[in-house]
Amino acid sequence: MDDGDRETGFANSPTLERVIGRAWTDDRPWELLTRLTELPHRLGGSSGERRAAGIVREALSEAGLENVRLDEFPMQHWTRGATEFAVLESGDANGRSFEAVALPYSPAGDIEGPLVDIGHGTPEEIDAVDLQGAIAVASTTTPPEQRFVHRLEKFGHAVAAGAAAFVFGNHVPGQLPPTGALQFDAEAAVPGVGVSAETRDWLAEYAERGAKARLRVDATTRSGSSRNVCGRLGPETDEEVLVLAHYDAHDIGEGALDNGCGIATVTGATAILAAIEDALECRVRIVGVGCEELGLLGAEALADELDLESVRAVVNVDGAGRHRNLRAFSHGSTALETLAEDVTDAAGQPVVHEPDPHPFSDHWPFLRAGVPALQLHSEPPEGGERGRGWGHTAADTRDKVDPRTLREHAILTALCVRELATRDMPRVDEDELREQLRAQEYEPGMRAADIWPEPWS
């Protein structure tokens, strides 16, 4: 690229144009995805996650990132044991058993109580029933007229209402019990399990009959550690652009979509950025973070380590590479919204824009401290299921991924980072951020999950 060339995209940059051309045949993202999904699992703090960190380190080094290191941080390592779940109708001592999987950070427990269906698990639905001592059953989805209500919120509201246990029922058919953490880096207040959509349909009927249920979870939580995979490229400037993707995954599937695709996309983008390193106008820090699924723990450790005043913006690649059309969350930053639109327009690629902030991915420790955050996700086909789809289930497997999408999103990620290196980004105002979250009615759920951002000073 010629010195001084700041054209968005790459039409006037012969060097970048050649690099982009080579990216269309780059197999590194697919090879990394394959190696990660071959592991038994990558749950935070496990030996599988440690092996994954080494694989990511090797892939980023081969992509051109220099001095890649592993930064260890402490965390609470949760281990899944056996789970039993049965519905008890009057006169039936043994009951009808259903498949269930314990949710991370569920404590061990043996609970018996009335089965209560709380629908989508919204605050209004929970307020309409008596959950004291009950086993609450919630859907993984949310009514289309409402913003998406996260699992942590549903669980927090149910516990606050007196639930003795929590059952998370998938809305995606296919006998796929879902998983997902109940708490951030600590044992949760009550046991929780995931069940399939088909099981949830039965549970709704049994709840109407006034049936009881029995839930037994064997699980342990103990001190452990995880790792972030860190490296830098570009000039030694006072400011830097931070690029993140988590490489951990839940232990019931391959974790291809969530978030093998994300870290694979970042690896492809790293190769592009390394090839144009001399033309970058700002330092770029690239990090594969651990333990996102257990509460953004790697991102929290990184945020504690860095001088956040020097971070111009964070690009969180969580969800990119799964589906063809890019989805850009600008988290309330109009400057990032404009940047994403400029880059995708120049590249001739569509983008679905989401302006509203949310706290449920690795950008959050930075956003709540005032760092502008761009999350690169991807949009499912029109009419697709709302929510995670195959994510957090045994169906999250490599066959769902198209290598062409990984390459395309790697290119778009690299172009966004390159453009960020040339632009000033206004900081996030703490009062505006809280008001944006309140406007989406996040505050009660975030307080229930103990993640509401208190004043910074």
Q: Which fold has domain 14-76+224-429?
A: Aminopeptidase (3.40.630)
Q: What is the CA radius of gyration of the chain?
A: 22
Q: What is the mean pLDDT of residues 11-26?
A: 88
Q: Which of 4-18, 105-119, 189-203, 383-397 has the lowest mean pLDDT?
A: 4-18
pLDDT in tens, 123-168: 999 999 999 999 999 999 998 888 889 999 999 999 999 999 999 9
Provide the percentage of residues in the chain whose pLDDT is more than 90: 88
CB-based burial label for 203 (10 Å; 0-12, 13-18, 19+): buried
Angstrom distance (rounded) from CA 223 to CA 75 = 6
CA distances 47 to 50, 136, 216, 227, 260, Å, are 5, 33, 26, 11, 17
pLDDT in tens, 364-381: 999 999 999 999 999 876
Angstrom distance (rounded) from CA 15 to CA 33 = 28
Torsion sign (Cα): 169, 400, 57, 279: negative
Decide the pairing of beta strands 96-98 and 66-88: antiparallel
Query: What per-residue confidence (pLDDT) applies to 13?
Result: 78
For the chain, what are the domain ranges?
14-76+224-429, 79-220
On the question of pLDDT at 323 being above 80, the answer is yes
Angstrom distance (rounded) from CA 146 to CA 155 = 18
Angstrom distance (rounded) from CA 343 to CA 415 = 7
The model's pTM: 0.94
- Quick one: three-class SS letters along 330-377? CCCCHHHHHHHHHHHHHHCCCEEEECCCCCCCCCHHHHCCCCCEEEEE
Contact 56, 231 (CB under 8 A): no
pLDDT in tens, 248-280: 999 999 999 999 999 999 999 999 999 999 999
pLDDT in tens, 63-86: 999 899 999 999 999 999 999 999
pLDDT in tens, 394-446: 999 999 999 999 999 999 999 999 999 999 999 999 999 999 999 999 999 89
Domain 79-220 in CATH 3.90.79.10: no
Confidence of residue 293 (pLDDT cuts 50, 70, 90): very high
CA nearest 413: which of 341, 322, 320, 348? Answer: 320
Confidence of residue 286 (pLDDT cuts 50, 70, 90): very high
Contact 88, 235 (CB under 8 A): no
Angstrom distance (rounded) from CA 242 to CA 231 = 10
